[in-house]
Amino acid sequence: MDDLKNSPAEISKFIKDVMSADSNTEEQLIIDLEEIAKKKVALKKQNESLRQKKELLEEEVSSMNQSINVLNESIEESENRNTEMVKQVGNLQIDNEKLISDINNIKATNKATSIDFENTQHVIETLTNELEEFENERSIAMERINLMRNAIKSIATEKDRKLPKLKQYDGMLKRAYTIFQETESRMELSLKLKDVP
């Protein structure tokens, strides 16, 4: 500006340049304003799109939070189930040990039972043999008893046959005994009478 103070021609040129620059600036401003308006519209659209995306994201976040809560509950239930399963496994181990002990006891009992069974079988065989021997002895004894019964029947028959004669003999013996006693008494009396002076 200091160089133009003493040069009217240059001042005129400067004014023209300024005016030309102002015209260009106005056009540029209009272009810029239109561009800004377009950008504003685009920004509004973008803002609306972003708002919608934000709402969708918020819904997704809310859904994810719900899913997370459900997952947390499921995890907690799983942990509780795992804890319970661990307890059950512990109980099963205890039950398994008890079952093993019971099985061992049963095996021992079976072994003892097997021994007892063998001993019982031996006793049964012995008793069977003794029973057979007893049956044989019983058979022999029954034969002897039958023989004795037959003998007794024979004796009874013989007794019945001879009983009348035996009664007759008994009567004769009684009479003979009576006569003997009477004779003896008479002899004693006779002897006593002889001794009397």
Report the 3 state secondary structure along 50-62.
HHHHHHHHHHHHH
pLDDT bucket at 131, cuts 50 / 70 / 90: confident
Using a pLDDT cut of 70, give the percent of the chain over it: 75
Residues 6+ positions from 14 with CB-CB distance below 8 Å:
4
- Structural domain tally of the chain? 1
Structural domain span for residue 129: 2-185+189-195
pLDDT tens digit sequence for 45-64? 998 998 999 999 899 888 88
